[in-house]
Structure 1
């Protein structure tokens, strides 16, 4: 569809500067532009280069670069990938300083904005939208379940055991219930978001983080990078913990963007691959269908030396063929590459993940259960071995293992957990060669088929996106 914006809705998009947040929202921006919506994407100046792949595919999208300066942020640090995890809340607070400049820009712009679409971590965009007299929509780069859980925590503020819950592993026996979420799940306290576990009543930063999430509940609705085939239980009716607002499930967005010739699912969006995709594919061509395990822990996680050693030992002992993307300075044990010979490929740096998951030889994915990795694997029909660490990853892991049945647990202890190499090796071997693994792979393949169908014309996510765009058109005529 040709991009044309005469008389079309004009939407202001505000991403959160973290890899897993920005990329799917930029995919959504591309899809909106392809369907005739005028889009302005606002970022801090230091993040403007990250828009280049999007702008090359969607030249009609207008970038808006604003300077970011905040006393709590180290100079020059404007993206989560360059920061320790403890800075996440500070970055949320710092971005709120863009409220005033955005308000001034929107009021002076010759083309009025009819809606604001902002990341889940940019809650202050809701009062911004209210000041502009337009509705705000919250984009969630996570699943509907994970989105409901984090909002439930800050809405209901369940009490923590005295002195427990802030450190990894503390409060393990304390279950936090979520009675208003379908199936009434409960999770051990350490398995929940650090943003909640580190909350201190009266602390300015903590109160700012909480306020950001509560603002989201004042929005016109949520747009999620998810699909009915994976989260139907959380889409059947409005959820109390999302203020009973409508949720448009429009994912997997990378696959949807790829369907219309965009930058979706491109492996170079997060940086140049350390090894060309063609070279990795040629290596994988040597192995039978479904026989290879892909290991990657996302763009931010760095395995500790003990974790890396355990992972290496398990891969070595399992006998499985594997590709290990050891990103972010993860220290692979010395001599490991030689010991695994021709059955293991270690990639240091950015990996062509989409191409790897799409290769027929890859049947399993050892993952931290970050949502982007999860939906990329789902789109490819690849089964998963879960090693969740933080954020929404434990919630996602439970969804994959216990509800969707497309994953097996590999390690469940969090950021500091070191799996037993013997147990992990056995899990890897059983996944690749056992009957249980075969059944999980079959379900993963079926989910892959449904994920592809969802974003094609007539599919559930395609229809949800069309309905969201119609909502924007309706707002534009008011």
Structure 2
């Protein structure tokens, strides 16, 4: 019998268990426009072998059950972590855990105060893990995660939802004192945003800023501090779209900026994920919309949808409907259930549908926007200029009519119209309130003009379509192996794999 061989270093290494996967803990803001891209990011990370824990509250977790089920079927290491939502918040009605549930402007601050109380439960969850996570990725607005990461010695990246163009404008406005200048200005005074590689002009109403309205000073200052102390930033964009702004933003921020988008293309080969992204799908409604689009000519339909927050009162809603009708263009229009609650609006909408039967379709409630934008019949998009919506449209080669409402949307409009050349402005000049705004900011004539210009013929319209298609092709290339976003994601995961993890 031969003597047993002593194990060599090589065989010892071969027998050693593989290192645990890189573990990212993602903490989105409880708002659909912020949660959806971070859910997409979770999927992208998991597809590269990372473990991902998506942290949210019970009401929001219920909305994301489809994600968890899909991840399980696809054998992706994504898990939902529910933190108990605080119940002792003055001024916040029970049951409100998401910004889109708020029905009174006075409830926004109490909701953010409630979110800050999640710091303790988050830290407790992280301490109970067998090993510290590799990295915490939190929304720019979730400044309360900064102390948790510092306490545990966990690296933290912030995710900022708008375009890099907007983020650079905002950072430069802070660093150069533009916010103080605009606060003291008249409504129509114009200012040039300093430090930009292109000329950007804003008014008091359209100047950059998140959480910097009266009453939000503490949240804003805390968010700026959390941004300054983070280890880097993640942005939902790609270099062929915003490279000059990414370069400047990274220099101004003084830390790495990871461009990993368009995140929405994480779903490009999965019809089920595309249809359920952001909410549980209404299969019957989806089938009705798809069947209607299937019967329309390629590129003939303009799609109108204005995001999850802004709700139009009847006077403004009527202008939108008449404008779409007067444009003469086939249209698919999404109207919120809360916008058609009264009998007179319901009756008016039915009359509009009767008059435009055959070339118009009105969908009530939530629809799978990404699936619609990817349909061959859609040739234009009337949008509120939220960055998710704009990037989804760009990624599918669809030019846009821009109708910004608030926050980052006015500067996002400047990017797509003035810099990228893929948009037609409807003419909105000032923000609207989320609720009960009686102003008619845009008339039916504005809507009809912009839609006709976007969808019509002529050299300018064709050039917009050409540019949109080109950016769409570049977006897909960015996400494929060898593309800029694909390789950036590889480098991000590998950087945390190399750095290892600290034991609890």
Q: TM-score, normalised by structure 2?
A: 0.85
2:478·2:486 contact (CA, 8 Å) conserved in 1? Answer: yes
User: What are the residue-to-residue correspondences of 1:148-163 with 2, within 5 Å?
Assistant: 148-154=168-174, 157-160=177-180
Q: Could you tell me which runs of 5 or more consecutive residues in structure 1 were left unpaired when the two chains were aligned.
A: 166-170
In structure 2, relative to structure 1, the CA distance for the partners of 1:101 and 1:420 (3 Å cut) is closer
Q: CA deviation at 1:217?
A: 1.9
- Residue 235 of structure 1 and its aligned partner are, at CA, apart by 1.8
CA RMSD of aligned residues (A): 2.5
**Deviation per residue, 1:169-209 (Å, 9 max, x gap):** xx43223443123325231121135745523xxx5x42233
Q: Confirm or deny that 1:317 pairs with 2:326.
A: yes
- Are the aligned partners of 1:135 and 1:220 in contact in 2 as well (CA < 8 Å)? yes
Change (3 A) 1:255 1:86: farther
Provide structure 2 residue ranges, at least 5 long, that are not aligned to the other structure: 1-16, 433-438
Quote the residue 1:476 is aligned against: 500
2:59 paired residue number: 46
Query: Is residue 361 of structure 1 aligned with residue 383 of structure 2?
Result: no
CA distance in 1, matches of 2:271, 2:301: 29
> Among 39, 53, 66, which residue is 2:83 paired with?
66
Deviates more, 1:432-441 or 1:79-88: 79-88
* Residues 63 and 444 of structure 1: CA distance in aligned 2, closer, same or farther (over 3 Å): same
Residue of structure 2 in register with 1:168 after alignment:
none
- Shift in CA distance, 383/43, structure 1 to aligned 2, threshold 3 Å: same
Partner in structure 2 of residue 208 of structure 1: 219
Equivalent runs, 1:56-205 vs 2, <5 Å: 56-59=69-72, 60-69=77-86, 70-83=89-102, 84=104, 87-154=107-174, 157-160=177-180, 171-192=186-207, 195-196=210-211, 198-199=213-214, 205=216
Displacement of 1:72 after TM fit? 4.3
Aligned to 1:235: 246
- In the other structure, the counterpart of 1:448 is 472
Q: Residues of 2 paired with 1:115 and 1:304: CA distance?
A: 43
Cα offset for 1:93?
3.1
Assess, with a 3 A threshold, how the Cα gap between structure 1 residues 85 and 270 changes in structure 2: closer, same or farther.
farther
Give the distance between the partners of 2:179 and 2:397, measured in 1 at CA. Answer: 40
Q: Greater shift after overlay, 55-64 or 434-443?
A: 55-64
Q: Bigger shift: 264-273 or 302-311?
A: 264-273
How far 1:96 sits from its partner (Å)?
A: 1.5
- Please give the alpha-carbon distance, in whole angstroms, between the structure 2 residues aligned to 1:284 and 1:108: 50
Distance 1:274 1:318, change over 3 A: farther
Query: Which segment is superposed worse, 327-336 or 207-216?
Result: 327-336
CA distance in structure 2 between the partners assigned to 1:303 and 1:194 by the alignment:
23
Residues in 1 aligned to 2:108 and 2:493: alpha-carbon distance in whole angstroms? 31
Distance in 2, matches of 1:371 and 1:5, equals 40
CA-CA distance at 1:34 after TM superposition: 2.1
Return closer, same or farther for 1:317/1:309 CA change in 2, 3 Å cut-off.
same
- 8 Å contact kept, 1:365–1:377: yes
Are the equivalent residues in 1 in contact too, given 2:399–2:454 (CA < 8 A)? no
Would the alpha carbon gap of residues 264 and 193 (structure 1) be closer, same or farther in structure 2, given more than 3 Å must change? farther
Aligned residues: 464
Structure 1, residues 283-304: CA drift from partner, whole Å, max 9, x if none? 2233322111111101112122
Tell me the CA shift for residue 442 of structure 1. 1.4
Superposed counterparts of 1:248-259, under 5 Å: 248-259=258-269
- CA deviations 1:262-311 (Å, max 9, x no partner) are 97533453243485333323222333221111111011121222221111
* Other structure's SS at 2:315 match: helix
Cα shift at 1:394: 0.6
Q: Distance in 1 between matches of 2:465 and 2:183?
A: 42
**Equivalent of residue 426 in structure 1, options 449, 454, 459:** 449
TM-score by length of 1: 0.89
Q: Which residue of 1 aligns with 2:426?
A: 410
Deviation at 1:433, TM superposition (A): 1.8
Distance 1:5 1:119 in 2: 31
Secondary structure of 2:82's partner?
Answer: strand
Q: Secondary structure at the match of 1:187?
A: strand
Q: What is the alpha-carbon distance in structure 2 between the residues aligned to residue 406 and residue 109 of structure 1? A: 47
